[in-house]
Amino acid sequence: MQSASARQTVPPAVPQIAPLPAPVRPDPVRDRWAAPMRLAIAEAALAPATGDVPVGALVLGPDGEVIGRGHNEREAVGDPTAHAEVVAIREAAAKTGQWRLSGCTLVVTLEPCTMCAGAIVLSRIDRVVYGALDEKAGAAGSLFDVMRDRRLNHRPEVVPGVLADDCAEQLRAFFDTHR
Ligand SMILES: [Zn+2]
């Protein structure tokens, strides 16, 4: 007779709908951003209370401290520009007393749209770390690649796909219950 522990080692038959590339473990490019991305996911979780899509963003200062945070509040304040990134950038600029956020990193749960990519370029943020890809509207590699357009004179480093599955699942869960 098979022991309980032996039975537990049999892998369950899980259907894989869309094959994903094998994750790199450890991933030196992305792993260091996992902790701040978890904070951004927690920030995103505040959005559905007002019917807003859960997207969360942080601005980290040059030393890694959080100097701005925001979640999507388009419905909450009735402002089409109140995306998480813009809210976080405004808070960081107010806190530092300057529009130029050189040396800062923006961490966001969803690939930035064209507006937010533009705001990131204008703010001189040096690095953008994002989670889920937005194939319909993303401007950081999916639909457009605004932040790495060589015609612009400020091009932040872009780190895509940090905790991408967790970020995508948060969005999926929202749309499953709200739409
Ligand atoms: Zn946006």
Instruction: Look up residue 173 and give its two tokens.
Output: 């869960």
Residue 85 CA to ligand 1 center (angstroms) comes to 6
Q: Which residue has the tokens 């991933």?
A: 27
Clarify whether 85 is annotated catalytic: yes
Tell me the whole-structure pTM to 2 decimals.
0.86
Q: 114-123 and 84-96 are packed helices; what angle lies between their axes, rounded to 10 degrees?
A: 20
Which range (2-6, 59-63, 132-136) has the least confidence? Answer: 2-6
pLDDT tens readout for residues 90-116 = 999 999 999 999 999 999 999 999 999
123 CA to centre of ligand 1 in angstroms:
14
CB 55 within 8 A of CB 49: no
- Which strands form 127-132's sheet, in the order they lie side by side? 66-71, 56-60, 105-110, 127-132, 157-159
Residue 178: pLDDT band (50, 70, 90) is confident
Q: Give the environment of ion ligand 1: residues with CB less than 5 A.
A: 83, 113, 115-116
* Amino acid at residue number 132: A
Mean pLDDT of the residues in the chain: 90
Task: Please give the Cα distance from 53 to 136 (Å, whole number).
Answer: 15
Alpha-carbon torsion angle 119, 122, 125, 129, nearest 10: 30
Q: Which listed residue (73, 85, 91, 111) is catalytic? A: 85
CB 104 within 8 A of CB 125: yes
